[in-house]
Amino acid sequence: MERIVQQTDYDALSCRISAISKGYLPSPSLQIERCHYNGYREMHVEYLRALKNVSMKIHSKVYQVAKTSFPVMNYGTYLRTVSIDLALDEFLKLVGEDRKVQVVNLGCGSDLRMVPLLRNHSNLFYVDVDYESSISVKRKVLWESPMLREMLDLKREDATGEVSSERYKLLPCDLNRLDQTMRGLEALTGPDCPTVIISECLLCYMADRESQQLIDSVKGFYKSGSWISYDPIGGSAPGDRFGVIMQNNLKESRNLDMPTLMVYNSTEKYASRFHGADTTASDMWEVLTSQISNEESARLRSLQFLDEIEELKVMQKHYLLLVARW
């Protein structure tokens, strides 16, 4: 199961590379101006270059998928990426620059948000968490790249091969093992520091019991914080078969399960998992049509011809971004 879920990260990396190559990312107004993500394209190109030296097999998979990504997929990657970045930026502005803040990325995979965030926020401490196999690849890739190594101020321990800096740590663990996860977080982070949790297409691959225990335990440990979660939802409208079809396709093609896709199949049901928190949740179609400016929408339309508008709408209404604050 670990290997199958890990493959979904390579899909996500492929989609980011495609969206970057076509100009969707970074967004000049939403990422560069508001989140200060300068060098976004360069650091992803560098990560891909270093990945080739670490694993030609993984690099080939990522590169091949990136070449065949359709406009509807690039839109989805854009919305996924920008909505999380803006939610993070809002949290950091709310905390301010004079207080230490922690970011914990659960199921981080190859995500590179830590690079611009650590460069732009001197008060930030960042922890990437994932399976041992995923962390091992990421650790090797970051160390392989002089550019990324310098940007993150990384050092490597000769005895263990672990890579880290004073403000950036990689935590290998199985998030389905709550005791292991909490021991690692308790060792690296403090409960009194404002903390933002990122879970990007993570909870959907966990069983209901394990995912709920993870949510409750993490929220219970940090006294104040925000949880930013991006996930698919199955759909609750009568006759909506999106989730059922998605589950069947993943099972047949990859033997991959999404145990809670049809359990928390609406924004309201998904938000109910975060007991006692102040939650807001929007599907990605709502984000595109009500939160993206006319100027930015025009920029997106200029990048590629998109004639699958209805397909885009159906897909993006089945993905959400939730922000829970406590």
Residue ranges of the annotated binding site for S-adenosyl-L-methionine are 80, 107, 174-175, 200
DSSP state of 29: I
Give the separation between CA 106 and CA 206, rounded to whole angstroms.
12
Annotated binding site: 80, 107, 174-175, 200
Among 107, 87, 89, 315, CA closest to 211: 107
Answer for the pair 234, 260: CB distance below 8 angstroms, yes or no.
no
> 192: burial class by Cβ within 10 Å (0-12, 13-18, 19+)?
exposed
Strands 225-232 and 163-164: unpaired
Q: How far is CA 50 from CA 32, 69, 137, 145, in A?
A: 24, 22, 11, 6
Phi, psi dihedrals of residue 95, rounded to the nearest 5°: -70, -40
What is the rounded distance in angstroms from the CA atom of residue 13 to the CA atom of residue 61? 10
Question: CB of 217 within 8 A of CB of 185?
Answer: no
